[in-house]
Amino acid sequence: MNPFLAVLTASCLARLSYQMARSPVLPRFAESLGAAPELIGIIVAASTVTGVLFKLPAGALSDLLGRRRVMLLGAVFFAVPPFVYPFVNDAVALLVLRFVHGFATAIFAPVASAYVAGLGEARRGARLGWFSSANDLGATAGPLIGGLILYATASFAASYLLVGVLGVLALGMALLVPETETKTTPAERSLSARAAEFREGLRDVITTPAVLIAAAVEATMYLGFGAFLGFLPLYARTVGLNDGAIAVVLAVQLTIALLAKPLTGNLSDRLGRKPVIVLGLFASAAALPLIFRMTSFAGLVTVVPLLGLGVAAVTPATNALIADLVAARRLGAGMGVFGTIWDIGEAAGPILAGILIGQIGYEPAFDVIAAIIAAVAAVFASWVRIATAPVGGPEG
C-alpha cells in the first residue's frame, strides 16, 4: 500500500477503538463502580500516564529498530486489553486496566507521527494535518458510537467488546504498513553500540529547549482538552442531557477539529507555526468557560466548535514544529519527547479538573484551567523565539 494511506488508515482505526473506550463510556463506567470525582479523574488520566512514562523510549527505540516494528507492538495493545473490560467489577481494577490499555497509544502514537513526518519535508504541516484529521475521524466516531451503543443497550460490556473488535482491525491494518526508512543501525552492530545510539538520540532531543517549549505548549492545550473529555459527559448529565445527546456534543467538537486540521496545518506551512499555535491556544482558553456555563443541548452544540478550532490550530502546527526542529534520524525521539510532555498535560487535565470540581464546582474549575492556557499563550507569543535548524546532525 501507499505508506501514507496505510498509516493513516491504521491510525484512524486505532483511534476509533481507543476513544470509544474512553469518552463518554469510561467516566460513566467508573461512576457506576462507585468512583468519586477525584478517582474518576485519575481513572480517565491513567492511560495517559502510561504515555508519559513510555512514549519517549518507544519513539527513540523506533529510531533504532524501525517504525513499522514498533508500531506493530503498539497495535497489539489496541487489540487485546479491551476484551478484559467486561470482567472488571471495581474501580481499582479499572484503574489498572486503563494503565495497561495506555500502552497502545504510548507505543503507537509517537512512532506513527514520526513515520508520517519522515516521509519528507515538503508540505510537512499539511501532511501532519491530514494525519491528525485521520486520528480525529476515529476520535469523532468513537465517542459517538460508544455513547449511542451505551444509550441503546445500557451495557458497558457491549461497548467494550466492540472496542476490542475495532482494535483487532487496527492491528490487521498496521500489518499492511510498509517500512520506509533506511535502518540507521545495522543488525550486526553490538547491543552496546545500539544502547549508545539510543542514549545519544534521547540526549540530543531532551537538551534542546525549543523542542521542550513546543511540546509544553501542546501539553497546555491538552490540559484543557483532557479535562473537557473527562468531565463533559458528567457535567452534561447534570444539565439534563442523555448519553446519546452527550455523544453528539462530543462528535460536533471533534468533527470541527477533523475538518479544520488539514487547513490549519497548511496555514502553518505558509504563515509559520507560531502564529497558528497562539491563535489556537487563545481559542481553547475562550471556549472552556463558555462550554461549562451552557445548560442546554443547543448551547453546548453552539459553543464546542470553538474548542474544536483551537485544538485544530495547535496540534498540526506543534507536530510540524517538532519535526522541523529535529533531524530525520531523531524523529522518533523527537516525537517521543513531544508525546511524553503532551501526555503530562492531558493526564493532568482530568486530575486537576477532578480536584477543582470537587472543591469549587464546574464553572470556577474551568475558569482556572482556561486562565492557565491563556497565560501560556501570552508568554509564548511575547517572549519565545524558536529557530528551526535541525537538532541531532544532518538530515538523512
C-alpha cell at 235: 457535567
201, pLDDT greater than 80: no
Q: What is the mean pLDDT of the chain?
A: 83
C-alpha cell at 190: 553490538
What is the pLDDT confidence band of residue 168, given thresholds at 50, 70 and 90?
Answer: very high
Answer yes or no: are the C-beta atoms of 104 and 77 closer than 8 Å: yes
Q: What is the DSSP letter of 86?
A: G
266, pLDDT greater than 90: no
Task: Answer with the residue of higher pLDDT: 88 or 261.
Answer: 88
Lowest mean pLDDT among 27-31, 149-153, 308-312: 149-153
Answer yes or no: are the C-beta atoms of 366 and 229 closer than 8 Å: no
Mean pLDDT of 40-48: 84
pTM as predicted: 0.68
Answer yes or no: are the C-beta atoms of 236 and 300 closer than 8 Å: yes
Residue 160 CB contacts under 8 Å (≥ 6 apart), including other chains: 21, 25, 82, 83, 85, 86
Cα(315)–Cα(321) distance, integer angstroms: 10
244, pLDDT greater than 50: yes
Answer yes or no: are the C-beta atoms of 348 and 227 closer than 8 Å: no
131, pLDDT greater than 70: yes
DSSP string covering 173-195: HHTTPPP-SPPSS-TTS-HHHHH
Letter for the amino acid at 238?
A: T
Q: Give me the pLDDT at residue 102, please.
A: 92
DSSP bridge pairs for 326: 391
Q: Give me the pLDDT at residue 96, please.
A: 95
CA distances from 170 to 130, 138, 157 (A): 18, 11, 20
Cα(196)–Cα(71) distance, integer angstroms: 22
Answer yes or no: are the C-beta atoms of 307 and 225 closer than 8 Å: yes
Mean pLDDT of 169-180: 88
What is the pLDDT confidence band of residue 395, given thresholds at 50, 70 and 90?
Answer: very low
The pLDDT > 70 percentage for the chain reads 87
Domains plus CATH for the chain?
A: 3-178+194-383 (1.20.1250.20)
What is the pLDDT confidence band of residue 184, given thresholds at 50, 70 and 90?
Answer: very low
Separation of first and last alpha carbons in the chain: 23
Mean pLDDT of 42-64: 83
Q: Give me the pLDDT at residue 207, please.
A: 65
Mean pLDDT of 169-186: 75
Q: Give me the pLDDT at residue 289, please.
A: 94
